[in-house]
Amino acid sequence: MEIYRRDDELWDIEANVVDVKHKDFPLETLVRKAGEHFHDMLLTLTIDERMSVVAVQAQTRAAPYEQDCKNFSEVYQKLVGLNLLQSFRAAVRERVGDNKGCTHINELAAILPTAAIQAFAGEMKRPDRADGSMPKHIDRCHALRRDGPVVARRYPSWYIHSQTGEEKNENP
């Protein structure tokens, strides 16, 4: 995955999956030789400073069903307008999930919100923090659970004592 700021102040997120077989692999019409790309898919999202998707490119450069795996990339235009911070994964499943798109490209899309947040920490505005509500990353992993030591230290107003369930939140 590569993420970078463009000259036009937008950001590109390029997610690529490649797999290579260690032995020759027979397909319907050919044999993919050991060491050749079996899958090679690229998903590029262009986002703005609010993490809204403004452009999408999906490419299949190698796949087991060559032509059939390359005939769906336009469906990913349905991701334009989505926001990486607002139910993005559910929207991907709804718009391009199942047989509407490619399983591998959809799996790449699923990790983009996390990758973007990590890449842009301190670089972009965080609209999810503007209203004083609990930061969305709290209670999303073991380290950031509300009854854990990290939240107690870094976000004490959102900390819950684990034995009593008592909330310390003084925010509205």
Token pair for 12: 């590109």
Give CA–CA dist 56/47, Å, rounded. 9
DSSP 8-state secondary structure symbol assigned to residue 98:
G
**What are the structural domain ranges in the chain?**
2-119, 134-158
**pLDDT score recorded for residue 44:** 97
Going by C-alpha positions, the residue among 76, 11, 6, 77 that lies closest to residue 41 is 76
Cα 24 to Cα 41: distance, rounded to the nearest angstrom: 20
Stretch 42-50: mean pLDDT, rounded?
A: 94
pLDDT at 130: 61
Mean pLDDT of the region 15-43: 91
Domain 2-119 CATH (choose: 3.30.390, 1.10.357, 2.60.40, 3.90.25): 3.30.390
Provide the pLDDT for residue 165: 55
pTM of the model: 0.76
Q: What is the pLDDT of residues 69-85, one digit of tens each?
A: 777 789 999 999 999 98
Average pLDDT in the 5-26 region? Answer: 94
What's the CA gap between 24 and 19, in Å, rounded?
A: 13
